[in-house]
Amino acid sequence: MLNMKWTMTAVMLAAAFAGTARQASAQTSQNYRGKFELPFEARFGNVVLPPGSYTVTTLEGAKGIRIYGDRAHVAILAAGYDVEPETKNAKLILVDTQGMYTLQSFESGVMGKALHFVVTKTPRGTVERAAAVKPTVELGLQ
């Protein structure tokens, strides 16, 4: 009888461990990593990134993103998120704020989330306004 209790306890512990292992692997698969080319200077949070090649990854739990390149890096917490249908393509959406593009949202594609960020106004006169500035620019991620 005692042997049967030990066996049942061992089976229950093994089942519980298998459940947590699956849950942990599901959480790690929720992290995103992609690359993009920034063709112009842009504001990401409180940091202005120069043109160049960058890598973007989601922070643990997809509560924000980290962007890093050869010349600069930044980590930004999201102000909120929306659940989106899963797609193969991820993108960054930048909006014009008085002559400088600023990160507005990150659509993760495979994670099924769109993270939204606080868009602060750029002080007037700090950046020359281009003649053909688009109000919104989408940068595709690879």
Q: How many structural domains does the chain have?
A: 2
Query: Are 129 and 90 members of one domain?
Result: yes
Identify the band that residue 3 occupies on the pLDDT scale cut at 50, 70 and 90: low
pTM score? 0.69
Domain range enclosing 72: 31-140
Query: Are 59 and 87 members of one domain?
Result: yes
29-33, 74-78, 131-135: least confidently modelled range: 131-135
Evaluate if residue 8 carries a pLDDT over 70. Answer: no
Query: Are 67 and 5 members of one domain?
Result: no
Encode pLDDT of 118-141 as tens digits: 987 655 544 444 445 578 888 888
Q: Are 59 and 65 in contact (CB under 8 A)?
A: yes
Query: Are 104 and 133 members of one domain?
Result: yes
Of 89, 133, 140, 86, whose CA–CA distance to 113 is shortest? 86
Query: Are 87 and 50 members of one domain?
Result: yes
Query: Are 67 and 116 members of one domain?
Result: yes
Query: Are 74 and 99 members of one domain?
Result: yes
Query: Are 23 and 69 members of one domain?
Result: no
Identify the band that residue 5 occupies on the pLDDT scale cut at 50, 70 and 90: low
Query: Are 125 and 92 members of one domain?
Result: yes
- Which residue spans within 39-135 are E strands per DSSP? 42-44, 47-49, 52-58, 64-69, 73-77, 80-83, 91-97, 100-107, 113-116
pLDDT (0 to 100) of residue 86: 82
Encode pLDDT of 32-50 as tens digits: 899 999 999 999 998 999 9
Query: Are 108 and 119 members of one domain?
Result: yes
How large a percentage of the chain has pLDDT more than 70? 68
